[in-house]
Amino acid sequence: MAMQDSTGTASLTRTTTQLSPEVLDDALAPLAAALGDRLLTPSAAAFAETAVVFMGGPERTPAAVARVRDTAEVAAVLAVARETGLPLAVRSGGHSYVRHGLADGGLVLDLRLMDGVEIDAAAGVGHAQGGVLAGAYVTAAGEHGLATGFGDTGSVGIAGLALGGGIGYLSRLDGLTLDSLLGAEVVLADGTVVETNPDEHPDLYWALRGGGGNFGVVTRLDLRLRELPVVTGGMLAWAAEPGTLTTILTALAEAPAELSAMVNVMVAPPMPMIPAELHGKPLVMALVCFAGPASDAEASLARLRAPGAVHDSVGEIAYPEMFAGVGGPAGGATAAARTGFLGDGVWAPSEEWSAAAIEAVSGATHGLAVVNLRPMGGAIAGTGASATAFAHRDAAWMVTVQGLVPDPDAVPALREWVESAAGELGVGGRGYVNFMGDTTPQDVRDAYPEATLARLREVKRAYDPQNLFASNHNVAP
């Protein structure tokens, strides 16, 4: 039966239900027996702090949160969701922009206790359970002088990040996080546990790498490691002028693959490291990482430093330090975002584009407004567009126009700003699922070329024909 869920997400094959309290208690009884106090209902003391995700938003209260420890418990939760029709959300790091880790009136399959990491230094492979956070993995790998590329934030879940893409400090050198995914253990919608890799369930392996959480619960990820004891990294900031921004973006677009950065165009917050006279004025702030010999870093960094940085903390550090202190408390501000991929090959925005980006953030009246830019290219472009479900391989930049507001009532105004700024900057049309701020079927169509989406649907029909996994950027079967 085709229908729409309360968020307007794609058409569903499975009809989800809300149960009366007595029926709900009966339905949850087997899980309560199996999980004990790891099945939390709203009356549990720890429920409020458990049923919360990183982003804020309208009230979404699950009927229960199941804190699973192994594949058998994952399968047991899936069985209850299948048999009762309760909506299901799969949650690891809880950083979904649209709070996919919460199911209103439904079941949250909470993977946070599945947080084991095993670093096989000899084989150059890291094994992470489905609830591992990027910071924990980076620290464990760093003890061996090894690394896998994630994003820029330690509190993000590896599984959520890798299934959508994973654009971060090592992407131009090693590809997206999903390009480092050698294989995985997955609990399918029917409770079967399978291994997937290039030889086993290759269609599932293809779909997992970009198709998000649509196909099963990933309980173990096998990730390629590289040697990376130290990097040259830290923060650079400049007063935002169109010429300065264009120089920075051109230098990054033309830089060797070892250099990457997360560039934010924003109004300077009153941070102590930014000169007071710039507070409240437009600023360009970049988290920079050169993952090669320090002696090779100088030339690339010199081009970035040339426009006269007002803050420069870039130096030789252990790679895990790039993830220290980035993140924040859960349940905070509500996000609005529009993502897009700009340019092909080596391409940097023009000075007019830079001026428009600075003007856009200067004119924002609600909350923290940012134009975030991440250089693509390098190893990302070295993989064919049809090799994985992530297909935007030839883009020069991933750009997100985004804002955060503490007050959910301010979201409509923030959304208006996001859409207007994104329109001015040509951001949209080709979306990145991990930063998408909305869940409409059009957003999903924007995220994948037609042929990719058709193939994802085929895999969805084979592995989850009832659309049990629907709390995601949903590929309808």
Ligand X SMILES: Cc1cc2nc3c(=O)[nH]c(=O)nc-3n(C[C@H](O)[C@H](O)[C@H](O)COP(=O)(O)OP(=O)(O)OC[C@H]3O[C@@H](n4cnc5c(N)ncnc54)[C@H](O)[C@@H]3O)c2cc1C
Residue 100 binds to ligand X (criterion: CB under 6 A): yes
Taking the CB of residue 47, how many other CB atoms lie within 10 A of it? 16
Closest approach, Cβ 328 to ligand X, in A, equals 7
In whole angstroms, what is the distance from residue 430 CA to residue 441 CA? 13
- To the nearest 10 degrees (0 to 180), the angle between helices 351-362 and 242-254 is 120
93 binds ligand X (CB under 6 A): yes
183 in contact with ligand X (CB under 6 A): no
- With CB atoms as reference, the residue minimizing the distance to ligand X is 160
- Whose Cβ is closer to ligand X: residue 12's or residue 111's? 111
340 binds ligand X (CB under 6 A): no
Which of 472, 474, 475, 477 touches ligand X (CB under 6 A)? 472
Residue 157 within binding range of ligand X, rule CB under 6 A: yes
- Find the shortest distance in angstroms from Cβ 298 to ligand X: 26
Sorted by sequence, the CB contacts under 8 Å of residue 52 that are 6+ apart come out as: 94, 330, 331
Give the residues across from 226 on adjacent strands.
147
> Residue 290 belongs to what H/E stretch?
strand 282-290
Cβ distance to ligand X smaller for residue 133 or 239: 133
Give least dist CB 135 to ligand X, A.
11
CA distance 458 to 238: 48
Helical ranges in 130-276 per DSSP H? 134-142, 158-164, 171-174, 202-208, 242-254
- Rounded CA-CA distance 429/218 in Å is 29
Query: In this chain, which stretch among 20-28, 83-91, 246-254, 399-407 interacts with ligand X, using CB under 6 A?
Result: 83-91
With contacts defined by CB under 6 A, name the span among 68-76, 160-168, 290-298, 363-371 that binds ligand X: 160-168
> CA nearest 286: which of 270, 264, 302, 301?
264
Q: With CB under 6 A as the contact rule, which of the stretches 19-27, 88-96, 290-298, 360-368 interacts with ligand X?
A: 88-96
DSSP single-letter state for residue 178: G
CA dist., res. 108 & res. 382, Å (int): 37
User: Side by side, which strands form the sheet with 107-110?
Assistant: 39-40, 64-67, 107-110, 88-91
Q: Does 166 bind ligand X (CB under 6 A)?
A: yes
Q: Which of residues 402-441 bind ligand X (CB under 6 A)?
A: 434-435
Query: Facing residues of 236 across strands?
Result: 286, 312
> To the nearest whole angstrom, how small is the minimum distance from the Cβ of residue 335 to ligand X?
7
Output the smallest distance, CB 204 to ligand X, in A. Answer: 12
Is residue 97 a contact point for ligand X (CB under 6 A)?
yes
Nearest residue (CB) to ligand X, 27 versus 337: 337
307 makes contact with ligand X (CB under 6 A): no
Among positions 199-258, residues that touch ligand X (CB under 6 A) are 212-213, 217-218
Q: For residue 265, report the phi and psi dihedrals to the nearest 5 degrees.
A: -100, 120
Residue ranges that bind ligand X, judged by CB under 6 A:
53-54, 89-97, 100-101, 111, 130, 151-153, 156-157, 159-161, 163-168, 212-213, 217-218, 434-435, 471-472
